[in-house]
Amino acid sequence: MKVFVAGATGAIGKQLVPRLVAAGHEVHGMTRSASKRAMLEAAGAVPVVADALDADQVAEAVARARPNVIVHQLTAIPAELDMRNLDREFALTNRLRTEGTDHLLSAGQAVGVRRFVAQSNIAVYARTGGAVKSEDDALDQSPAREMRRGLEAIRHLEDAVLGARWTEGIVLRYGWFYGPGTSMAPGQESYELVRRRKFPLVGDGGGVWSFIHVDDAAEATVAAVEHGGRGIYNVVDDDPAAVAEWLPALAVQLGAKKPMRVPRFIGRLFAGEWGAVMMTQIRGASNAKAKRELAWRPGHPSWRQGILVA
Ligand SMILES: NC(=O)c1ccc[n+]([C@@H]2O[C@H](COP(=O)([O-])OP(=O)(O)OC[C@H]3O[C@@H](n4cnc5c(N)ncnc54)[C@H](OP(=O)(O)O)[C@@H]3O)[C@@H](O)[C@H]2O)c1
């Protein structure tokens, strides 16, 4: 098949493109920078230089490639996040998830793409009820102020993709990435904060995280491209865990001192309300549907084995 990957050079795109090529697909990889052409060619893709926020450029790029499938992996998340100003930090990502989605969808409709696979996130789920959410569980209706616009943008993306009845619209709600090219990797921001004892355990550490190694996220995406049916799939590992469990375990693995404990109001002061939510209230997700319907299994079933060798 011909697959058009928007976001071909990002954390997930870098893992996805070579896998699609190895599976025999003709991949057209989009970037804003002409300087990344060589990198895409080396991965076996046809480079496409276009700005996702420019409707005409996207329409022209997609029309030229005439893909069977479009994969939307566009984000622009800064390497170091100011958790108290997430509206600012996510402003561009929010535009990519709203305008960028709309541009790709109309370009895809014009050439009649068979599938449209887009990146979403398990952060959408309600912070009440069970600790581990399935795809049809309720969404967060009162997000923390700092993430309100971010979650609105994700909802826009999901609604637009699932509402596109002319194609198989597929939404992949990825868990929290770790592995190469992510902030959860040796030498990268989150690991270094844990190593330097600057990633405290906030409140009861009751927030439940579902991680996913980027290799496994890419494998699930290939499965969705090849045989996914319209709908939402959580793409997470088998082992959701509370921060109070994984954070001290990661500190041990990294040879760091035990994380400091701080009350929720102190965590909120330093990391904003969303930071406090992530540490105390966020929910995990179940991968049962993706396993069943995409015939996919995570190669790293638990962060316990994978997180250090990432
Ligand atoms: N579920 C999760 O935990 C999750 C999800 C997403 C990201 N993250 C994290 O966030 C950090 C940053 O990752 P990232 O993937 O956002 O980084 P990134 O390296 O900035 O990748 C974003 C992709 O979007 C493309 N892009 C952005 N704006 C574009 C535009 N206007 N037009 C065309 N293409 C555009 C980029 O292409 P060019 O730059 O080549 O133009 C790149 O391919 C990483 O640590 C990652 O792990 C985590």
User: Is residue 94 within 6 Å of ligand 1 at its C-beta?
Assistant: no
Q: Is the pTM of this model over 0.95?
A: yes
- Token pair for residue 170? 């597929």
* pLDDT over threshold 80, residue 310: no
- Cα(287) to centroid(ligand 1), Å: 23
Q: What percent of the chain has pLDDT over 90?
A: 89
Confidence tier at 67 by pLDDT (50, 70, 90) = very high
3-state helix, strand, coil in the chain (%, to 5): 45, 20, 35
Query: What is the spatial distance between Cα 150 and Cα 148, in angstroms, rounded to a whole number?
Result: 5
Give me the mean pLDDT over the 141-154 stretch: 93
Domains of the chain: 2-177+213-236+285-294 (3.40.50.720)
- Cα(87) to centroid(ligand 1), Å: 17
pLDDT at 308: 55
Q: Give the residue whose CA is nearest to atom 4 of ligand 1.
A: 177
Query: What is the spatial distance between Cα 4 and Cα 283, in angstroms, rounded to a whole number?
Result: 32
* pLDDT over threshold 80, residue 309: no
pLDDT at 305: 82
Q: Phi/psi of residue 273, each to 5°? A: -65, -40
Give me the mean pLDDT over the 255-268 stretch: 95
Mean pLDDT of the chain: 95
- Cα(132) to centroid(ligand 1), Å: 27
User: Is residue 218 within 6 Å of ligand 1 at its C-beta?
Assistant: no
User: Is residue 183 within 6 Å of ligand 1 at its C-beta?
Assistant: yes
pLDDT at 252: 92
- Cα(110) to centroid(ligand 1), Å: 26
- Cα(76) to centroid(ligand 1), Å: 5
Neighbouring C-beta atoms of residue 7, cutoff 10 Å: 25
Backbone conformation region of residue 178, classed left if phi is above 0, alpha if psi is from -120 to 50, else beta: beta
- Alpha-helical regions (H) of the chain: 13-22, 37-42, 55-65, 86-89, 91-95, 101-111, 148-163, 189-195, 214-227, 243-253, 264-280, 288-294, 303-309
Residue pair 177/125 in contact by the 8 Å Cβ criterion: no
Cα angle 25-27-31, degrees, rounded to a multiple of 5: 165
* pLDDT over threshold 90, residue 260: yes
Q: Give the residue whose CA is nearest to atom 45 of ligand 1.
A: 182
Q: Give the residue whose CA is nearest to atom 18 of ligand 1.
A: 10
- Cα(112) to centroid(ligand 1), Å: 26
Render pLDDT for 176-234 as a digit per residue (tens, 0 to 9). 999 999 999 888 889 999 999 999 999 999 999 999 999 999 999 999 999 999 999 99
Residue pair 310/184 in contact by the 8 Å Cβ criterion: yes
Burial class of residue 138 in the structure, from the number of CB atoms within 10 Å of its CB (0-12 exposed, 13-18 middle, 19+ buried): exposed
User: Is residue 122 within 6 Å of ligand 1 at its C-beta?
Assistant: no
Give me the mean pLDDT over the 255-274 stretch: 94
User: Is residue 177 within 6 Å of ligand 1 at its C-beta?
Assistant: yes
Neighbouring C-beta atoms of residue 63, cutoff 10 Å: 12
